[in-house]
Structure 1
Amino acid sequence: MKRKLNLLPFIIVAIIFFALNAYVLSGLGTINQSTWLSPIFWVFIVGLTFALLYAIQQMRIQGMNRFFQIISHAFLIIFAAELVFAFFLLLGDIYRLLLGLSTNFQPEGFHILGRSNYWVDFAFVMFCLTIALFAYGITQGKYAYRVIKHTLYFDDLPASFDGFTLTQISDVHAGSFTNSKAVQKGIDMINAQKSDLFVFTGDLVNNASSEIAPYIGHFSQIKAPFGQFSVLGNHDYGDYIKWPTEADKIQNLNQLKAYHKELGFKLLLDEHVELHKNGEKIILAGIENWGIGFGERGDLNKALQNTNVDDFKILLSHDPSHWDAQVKNYPSKIQLSLAGHTHGMQFGIEAFGIKWSPVKYRYKHWAGIKTENGRYLNVNRGFGFLGFSGRIGIWPEITVIELKKK
């Protein structure tokens, strides 16, 4: 029996979408009262909406394509700008209503032409700035690499490793890249740090191993005296596309593992290595992806097998939810964990003492350093991008961490 489609959610979304656009049009009508404004506005909005629906249908058949990216990004930009415009327009309307009521203004006299042109003009300026901001994020922001440095202090760091540095990147998502010269700029910035150790914390590709092939020559340039190490992320397993057979999916993962080796990365799959210096050592462990809602594959016990409780340990684990679930209270102390996964949602504010992104409502800690129970976690904001082909406020990150002994 065919399941009956529930149209109510679609009807509710359509009504809200129509109401938003009608409200935006009322504000634009305050600025420009041309009779042509309304039909042009609705033709554009309806046309863009149907183009998006068609693009989604084609994507389901053909997979991700350029047409879908262009239409979806155009829709996202316009929709975000409309929300900003409507927000400031609403503030002005509420102020006028309250002002009218406080001066015995009759509600039936409240009409659109009573709006302050200055306030509507301000809302329109914010509308235009939103479009400009998204345009920058798409054309420039996604490759605007930032080097973020942290110095962390430990009581139990072996003395020989005092001043030891590591560079971390995460979430390359090579299938999203369109500018090899910009990617090379990021590689040059990584090598310029001259760190002792390089680590990559997962999501080399979006779906298929072939996505990294054009960039092997770029990422294989990364070198560090103590080596280059990596782990897998949730996207690396090929779980988000349909494969002809299970054997094809397995072959894709095996090929991706081979590409890690070709890049010069030692892939840690629930295992660890010892890094030695002047007769002392630290443990570098890496696990397969373990993330709440994204596959709990990794085995921390296996990764730390044959290590000692008092060993200084660094763990590579793609998803920061693993740190909260297992790592921060693990019986054998893991002094430093390195993760990625969140991308900071590629959108947010980190300025003037403000640190906010919508991803905070999904992850307790989504970027930067966190300390708890005498242990550190660093969440890298990601080197690449996925879904939204851009970054706004949350820029691609190269993390450099220096270990210091207290």
Structure 2
Amino acid sequence: MAKRLISVLLLFIIADIYFYQALLTLTSNTFWHTLYWMVDGVVLLGLMALLVLRRKGKPVHNLVQVAMSGMLLVYVPKLFSFPLLFLEDITRMFRSFPARNIYISEAVVFIAVIVFIAIVFGLTRGKHFYKIKKQTLYFTDLPKAFDGFTITQLSDIHAGSLRNSKAVDKGIALANAQRSDLVLFTGDFVNNMANEVKPWLNSFAALEAPFGKYSILGNHDYGDYIRWQDSSAKAQNLRHLGELQADMGFKLLLNEAVFLQKGQDKIALIGVENWGKGGFQQYGDLKKATALVPDNSFKILMSHDPSHWEAETVNHRQHIHLTLAGHTHGMQFGVELFGYKWSPIQYFYKQWAGLYNKGGKYLYVNRGFGFHGMQGRVGIWPEITVLTLKRVTEKSFAPLAS
């Protein structure tokens, strides 16, 4: 991971130098040249201050937010401009390196301005630009009574980051408007502390579904990222979070399973605690969670971190039909247009957003309802997932989006 981060930083530096070449082509005014490097210097000083304060154990949450926003606004627009300048340099190499074309430099600045505006939108309005993502999944062994059964999935609320109650309530109303049979929440209700939920109790209590609301814990819910007075205070915080989720109408599943019944048919809903690769805690116990689930049951698993799917779920002795996860947020930054999707998170997680399939075992990764770290979303918008389960008799089929 460290090598990848270094590679990203090097790419930012190269793009920064290239963009400065376009600026030199457009103006010889030293004021703009000086301002360019002063802005860069302020961002770099902020990053250095962040590292120093973090090493000293000082609270840096607000500074992290500012630093991330600054890097997005200063470096990312230049990164999108870099390919055009690089291509120009390739042609210049075969022409004995003439002066840069002023029209290409103008185009580069235009691209950067468009990306800058998009980032400003993401940091202001994008955090609540809720999108419904609908997916229909087909199974040959889905119990007949559950044919057409609908699930609304939410994930990664991060209540401690939320501020705009009107916007949040609009998102909850949008989720309720889907009229799903079941509401599932796949972890990270808070950033660190259970009390973050209190201002939002009434809002999330308003979520409703005839088959109930179920939840699991995400890596942030355990309070692992802040210092506690002692271990009992940390444990009490986790218990309190469970109580608050119950107050909102959620049944918290802790390495356990419940059965949902419709008519004479049942399906198993399984919830594991957080289990992740790459240094994340592995509290989840899939073996324990499925101990009382018959092998022939239709199974839906809630597991916060999508890395758990390939690491344990796909090869689990029981067939887990559908796994629902979150965690990645799609890094809250990327591009999703006309079926194409890209985000830097894909270099860290193989499964990071949307639907995945291995041998008839499905994983859906929700992009998250809230936000954390960066106080906004750019291109990867907050998501409300609606899944429809369909029964088919054919042996060969493929998942289709509704």
Is the CA contact 2:16–2:79 (under 8 Å) kept in the aligned structure 1?
A: no
- What is the CA distance between 1:138 and its match in structure 2? 0.8
Q: Supply the distance in 2 between the matched residues of 1:318 and 1:22 (Cα, whole angstroms).
A: 40
Partner of 1:231: 216
User: Secondary structure of 1:63's partner?
Assistant: coil
Equivalent pair of 1:315/1:336 in contact (CA under 8 Å): yes
CA distance in 1, matches of 2:7, 2:342: 29
2:87 aligns with one of 81, 88, 91: 91
Q: Provide Cα deviations, 1:333-364, integer angstroms capped at 9, x if missing partner.
A: 22111111111122222223322222222222
**Letter paired with 1:334:** I
Which amino acid letter does the alignment assign opposite residue 96 of structure 1? R
Is residue 46 of structure 1 aligned with residue 47 of structure 2? no
- Letter paired with 1:330: H
Q: Distance in 2 between matches of 1:12 and 1:157?
A: 46
TM-score by length of 2: 0.89
Amino acid at match of 1:317: S
Q: Could you tell which deviates more after superposition, 217-226 or 287-296?
A: 287-296
1:361 aligns with 2:347: yes
In 1, Cα distance between the equivalents of 2:148 and 2:13? Answer: 59
Matched residue of 1:266: which SS? strand
- Aligned-partner Cα distance in 1 for 2:372–2:308: 21
Whether the 8 Å CA contact 2:334–2:380 is kept in 1: the answer is yes
Structure with more relative contact order (C-alpha pairs < 8 Å, separation 6 or more): 2
Aligned length: 385
Where do 1:163-242 residues align within 5 Å?
Answer: 163-242=148-227
Question: For the aligned residues, what is the CA RMSD?
Answer: 2.4
- What is the one-letter code of the residue matched to 1:394? I
Separation of aligned partners in 1, 2:363 and 2:161: 27
> Is 1:79–2:75 an aligned residue pair?
yes
* d(CA) in 2 for partners of 1:209, 1:394: 27
Q: Does the 8 A contact of 1:56 with 1:68 survive in 2?
A: no
Q: TM-score normalised to the size of structure 1?
A: 0.88
Deviation at 1:18, TM superposition (A): 7.0
Contact 2:143–2:265 (Cα < 8 Å) also in 1: yes
Structure 2 residue matching 1:36: 3-state secondary structure: helix
From 392, 397, 400, the equivalent of 2:378 is 392
Distance 1:266-1:86 versus aligned 2 partners, 3 A rule: same
Gapped regions of structure 2 (runs ≥ 5): 1-5, 393-402
Q: Given the alignment, which residue of 356, 359, 379 partners 1:373?
A: 359
User: Which residue, out of 283, 290, 308, partners 2:275?
Assistant: 290
Q: Distance in 2 between matches of 1:254 and 1:15?
A: 44
2:399 aligned residue: none
Candidates 217, 240, 252, aligned match of 1:267? 252
CA distance 1:357–1:40, change in 2 (3 Å): closer
State whether residues 305 and 327 of structure 2, in contact with CA within 8 Å, keep that contact through their aligned partners in structure 1: yes
Superposed displacement of residue 223, structure 1: 1.0
Query: Would the aligned equivalents of 2:72 and 2:119 in 1 still touch at CA under 8 Å?
Result: no
Q: Deviations over 1:3-25 (max 9, x none)?
A: xxxxxxxx999999777645433
Partner secondary structure for residue 30 of structure 2 = coil
Q: 1:163 to 1:23 in 2, by over 3 A?
A: closer
Partner of residue 101, structure 2: 116
SS class of match (1:115): coil
Deviations 1:101-156 (A, max 9, x none): xxxx4xxxx46xx2111000001111111211111111111211111111111111
Q: 2:31 aligns with which of 23, 36, 39?
A: 36
Structure 1 residues 17 and 132 mapped into 2: Cα distance closer, same or farther (>3 Å)?
closer
- Alignment check: 8 A CA contact 2:217 2:274 kept: yes
Deviation at 1:58, TM superposition (A): 4.9
Residues 22 and 163 of structure 1, relative CA distance in 2, 3 Å threshold = closer
- Cα distance in 2 for partners of 1:309, 1:393 equals 41
In the alignment, the residues of structure 2 paired with residue 93 and residue 225 of structure 1 have an alpha-carbon distance, to the nearest angstrom, of 61
Where does residue 150 of structure 1 map in the other structure? 135
Does structure 1 conserve the Cα–Cα contact (< 8 Å) formed by 2:367 and 2:382?
Answer: yes
**Aligned in 2, Cα 1:16/1:339: closer, same or farther, shift over 3 Å?**
closer
Deviations for 1:215-257, whole angstroms, at most 9, x for unmatched residues? 1111110111111000001111111122232222112111111
Secondary structure at the counterpart of residue 202 of structure 1: coil
Percent identity between the aligned chains?
Answer: 46
Q: Deviations over 1:185-207 (max 9, x none)?
A: 11001110111111000011111
Matched, 1:321 2:307: yes
- Determine if contact 2:68/2:373 at 8 Å carries over to the other structure: no
Give the secondary-structure state (helix, strand or coil) at the position aligned to 2:133. strand
Cα distance in 2 between the residues matched to 1:305 and 1:17: 49
Q: How big is the shift at 1:291? A: 1.3
